Amino acid sequence: MTKTIDRTVLENAIIRFCGDSGDGMQLTGSQFTTTSANLGNDIATFPDFPAEIRAPAGTVPGVSGFQIHFSSRDIHTPGDQPSVLVAMNPAALKANLSDLEQGGLLIVNTDAFSKVNLKKAEYESNPLEDGSVERFRVIRIPITELTHRAVAETGLAKKEADRCKNFFALGIVYYLFDRDMNLTLEWIEKKFKKRADIAAANRLSLIAGYNYADTTEIFTTSYSVPAAALPKGKYRSITGNQAIAMGFVAASKLSDRTLFYGSYPITPASDVLHELAALRHFGVKTFQAEDEIAAVCAAIGASFAGCLALTGTSGPGICLKSEAINLAIMTELPLVILNVQRAGPSTGMPTKTEQSDLLQAMYGRNGDSPLVVMAPATPSECFHYGIEAFRIATKFMVPVILLSDGFLANGAEPWAIPSSDSLPTFNVQNIAAHAPYQPFERDPETLARGWAVPGTAGLEHRIGGLEKADITGNVSYDPINHEKMTYYRAEKVARVAHDIPQLEVYGDQDADTLVVGWGSTYGSLLTAINALNSNGKSVAGAHFRYLNPFPVNTEAVLRQYKRVIVAEINTGQLDFMIKGKYNIATTPFQCVQGKPLYVSDLDKFIRLHL
């Protein structure tokens, strides 16, 4: 008798693929993401990379994961707990099982649960046999063996055949969630067009996984998640690193300036260098320097020469760049510094996310050396803030630090591709030769000095790290002049507040409690606050994209509420800034685990303090 398979329509689902770093989990997750986006789902992803470059295979430090939340409604986070966990080996199970929701679906590759692999994962007994997984719906599949059978006709060696098992697992999950395989099949043919045998093997493995799930009827229920009702437009799935690179190039085109990117590879910022190098046909100049100091100094030289100057790194690199950033502050040159934050201090956890560089961005230089600090809130927002950073830098002749983080950098969501007409315009002009030319004459509105391109007759001037005399720019040790120039540099940054949007409040406008955050915490905060409002709890939210200066209405907004909760992925850095600047009592919510904020944790904390 044929077994009947129920088809259940879900509003949303959360899947996590996990395995060894060589098991292709990032590729598997990205293919499922692309397919779901193409079907019209709203998506949010959270790739989780091993922190060690070459962790021993089969060990917990070597586990790689990819979580995708796909939905028929608007979503803002990759979800707290997966409803489906695909574990390719014991180490992956050990690292991720505690996150699987109660009663969730666990798909395991039983072939990997050998004595050797169990020992590598530091299991004393087989968790598939000792009751450890009995609270879940467990689907045991010999994925490795079935993959070898599926690809046998290609004649691949065992090692290469093993690499195809991620596609077998993907085929299973495609069947489970009623996904079409065609996009992935097309991708395989394109990706491996120079290796027909590899292409054939991956194709056979994917189809075999799908057919195995279909014919063996291992699932009593399969699921579908309908398309989301997104606003009309042309969409693509985009990560924060991709979006910010495109934003920088858009700024170059909008300002009609060459973009120069000086960088030294560092996780999780390296992909920005890769993305910009791939966009060289737009006139982008990329320079992989020998170290962080050379990278930022080259960018400052490019700024002096009249280019849009950019350097990118993570927290440890900002430490090394700090002296040169101060040079850009002293010379009052436009420079954008991208910091894709990661867990610290020191090397910390290179592939894990954190928001712990805010105070470093604010104060991590010698002397009084203010600059502009901004932070996009979502992967797609990175595009806009790539443009915005250069607009402000060139208008005010000031360095701008742009704070992204590992979660934004690697996470993906649908991005409505904007028309060129919808992009902001900003004109960047060098001053024309005139007599007498004074290098530190200032615009009365912005206090910006003129941007003079070297080699222009009549615009010769000194540049360097020593204090400048007002107007002339000559080296000056005069105490009164130093104080005056110090205040000029500070006031120039302060005036940016009148050139940026005001702080907006969302949620229940009449609430007594306001929850604020910054950067990548936005999705979790918005989701938690919306859920609380839907359940009759009165709470409002506000989110900072501009951190120095704060928007002009910040104090007025904060003082409207009896309670202000400050949520961030550090030990209270925005909280420190708010208390110090406005002397307002706040309640901090802090999480420093190398992960995005969980909506469930926020919900509990906010309810406790209402």
Confidence of residue 1 (pLDDT cuts 50, 70, 90): very low
Q: Are 117 and 88 in contact (CB under 8 A)?
A: no
Summarised one tens digit per residue, pLDDT across range 180-213 is: 999 999 999 999 999 999 999 999 999 999 999 9
What's the average model confidence in pLDDT over 339-366? 97
Task: Say how many domains are in the chain.
Answer: 3
Task: Check pLDDT > 60 for residue 521.
Answer: yes
pLDDT at 172: 98
Residue 447 lies in a domain: no
pLDDT at 3: 54
pTM: 0.95
Summarised one tens digit per residue, pLDDT across range 35-78 is: 999 999 999 999 999 887 778 889 999 999 999 999 999 999 99
Please tell me whether residues 77 and 188 are part of one structural domain: yes
Residue 89 lies in a domain: yes
Residue 387 lies in a domain: yes
**For the chain, what is the mean pLDDT?**
96
* Integer CA distances (angstroms), 31 to 12, 167, 254, 503, in order: 18, 10, 33, 37
Please tell me whether residues 398 and 312 are part of one structural domain: yes
Structure tokens at 381: 């927002």
CA 96, 101, 103, 105 dihedral sign is: negative
How many angstroms separate the first and last alpha carbons of the chain?
57
What's the average model confidence in pLDDT over 128-132? 96
CATH number of the domain where residue 300 is located:
3.40.50.970
Q: Are 420 and 383 in contact (CB under 8 A)?
A: no
pLDDT at 239: 97
Per DSSP bridges, beta strands 412-416 and 335-341 are unpaired
Please tell me whether residues 60 and 149 are part of one structural domain: yes
Which stretch of DSSP H or E encloses residue 543?
Answer: strand 540-544
Whole-angstrom Cα distance, residue 67 to residue 87?
12
Please tell me whether residues 284 and 331 are part of one structural domain: yes
Task: Check pLDDT > 90 for residue 337.
Answer: yes
Summarised one tens digit per residue, pLDDT across range 2-25 is: 455 678 999 999 999 999 988 999
CATH number of the domain where residue 125 is located:
3.40.920.10
Burial 77-113 (b: 16+ CB within 10 A, else e): bbbbbbbbbbbbbbbbbbbbbebbeeebbbbbbbbbb
Segments forming the whole domain that contains residue 300? 236-422
The crossing angle, in degrees rounded to 10, of helices 315-331 and 292-304 is 30
Summarised one tens digit per residue, pLDDT across range 547-565 is: 999 999 999 999 999 999 9
Please tell me whether residues 220 and 307 are part of one structural domain: no
pLDDT at 373: 98
Structure tokens at 386: 């790539």
Please tell me whether residues 132 and 277 are part of one structural domain: no
Share of the chain above pLDDT 90, in %: 92
Reading phi first (left if > 0) and then psi (alpha if -120 to 50, else beta), residue 505 is in beta
Whole-angstrom Cα distance, residue 361 to residue 346?
16
Summarised one tens digit per residue, pLDDT across range 429-454 is: 888 877 789 999 999 999 999 999 88
Please tell me whether residues 43 and 116 are part of one structural domain: yes
pLDDT at 584: 96
pLDDT at 53: 75
Q: Nearest CA to 49 among 38, 61, 31, 35?
A: 61
More confident residue, 220 or 173: 173
Phi, psi for residue 353 in degrees, rounded to 5:
-85, 155
Domain end point (choices 175, 204, 224): 224
Helix (H, G, I), strand (E, B) or coil at 173: helix
Please tell me whether residues 216 and 262 are part of one structural domain: no
Which stretch of DSSP H or E encloses residue 44?
Answer: strand 42-48
pLDDT at 514: 98
Q: Are 55 and 21 in contact (CB under 8 A)?
A: yes
Please tell me whether residues 188 and 301 are part of one structural domain: no
What's the average model confidence in pLDDT over 516-532? 98
Q: Give the Cβ contact number of residue 353 at 10 Å.
A: 28
Summarised one tens digit per residue, pLDDT across range 151-162 is: 999 999 999 999
Whole-angstrom Cα distance, residue 325 to residue 396?
16
Residue 468 lies in a domain: no
CATH number of the domain where residue 511 is located:
3.40.50.920
- Residue 255 corresponds to which amino acid? S
Range of weakest confidence among 165-169, 327-331, 418-422: 418-422
Domain end point (choices 422, 442, 474): 422
